[in-house]
């Protein structure tokens, strides 16, 4: 079985080729817009996973956007992949988050190893409304 160690939403991911160290650039926890609908993206979802066995494990991932009204919108789903090492860093490119309302949204990450989907991550993203400034006459 696998487990998620951490996950982060960000604007860009930089991997150093010599050291394999990673920098997550401009992490995302909130955004703002004058009006909705609005598209946010592309963005990246950086994740780290651990296995609790030495065996190869097949796993599939999916990412879902939970809206403030609790409705769910699928974002992406991977094909099954085999995890061989004890720890795996996986990065997902999200082309766009289609935001149709202001308020607290969640990016959900789920995985499937045995024909059933398991919840792993729930990342909050607050989308606030920008108030237009009224012009003042003198």
| pLDDT tens for the 138 residues of the chain, in order | 999 999 999 999 999 999 999 999 999 999 999 999 999 999 999 999 999 999 999 999 999 999 999 999 999 999 999 999 999 999 999 999 999 999 999 999 999 998 899 999 999 999 999 987 755 555
Task: Report pLDDT for 45.
Answer: 98
Provide CB contacts within 8 A for 34, sequence distance 6+. Answer: 129, 130, 132
* CA nearest neighbour of 94 among 33, 32, 12, 2: 12
- The total of other beta-carbon atoms located within 10 Å of residue 131's CB is 8
Q: Tokens representing 37?
A: 């609908």
Domains of the chain as residue ranges with CATH? 2-129 (2.60.40.3880)
Task: Report pLDDT for 136.
Answer: 56
Task: Report pLDDT for 114.
Answer: 84
3-state helix, strand, coil in the chain (%, to 5): 0, 65, 35
Q: Rounded to two decimals, what is the model's pTM?
A: 0.90
Q: Which residues of 12-23 are buried (b: 16+ CB within 10 A; e: fewer)?
A: ebeeeeeeeeee
């Amino acid at each position: 079985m696998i487990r998620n160690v951490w996950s982060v939403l960000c604007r860009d991911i930089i991997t150093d080729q010599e050291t394999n160290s990673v920098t997550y650039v401009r992490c995302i926890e909130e955004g703002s817009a004058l009006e909705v609908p609005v598209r946010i993206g592309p963005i990246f979802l950086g994740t780290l996973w651990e296995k609790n066995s030495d065996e190869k494990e097949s796993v599939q991932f999916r990412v879902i956007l939970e809206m403030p009204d609790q409705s769910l919108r699928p974002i992406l789903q991977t094909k099954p992949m085999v995890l061989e090492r004890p720890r795996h860093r996986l990065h997902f490119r999200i082309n766009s988050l289609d935001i149709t309302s202001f308020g607290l949204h969640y990016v959900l990450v789920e995985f499937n190893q045995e024909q059933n989907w398991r919840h792993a991550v729930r990342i909050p993203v607050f989308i606030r409304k920008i108030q237009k400034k009224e012009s003042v006459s003198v």
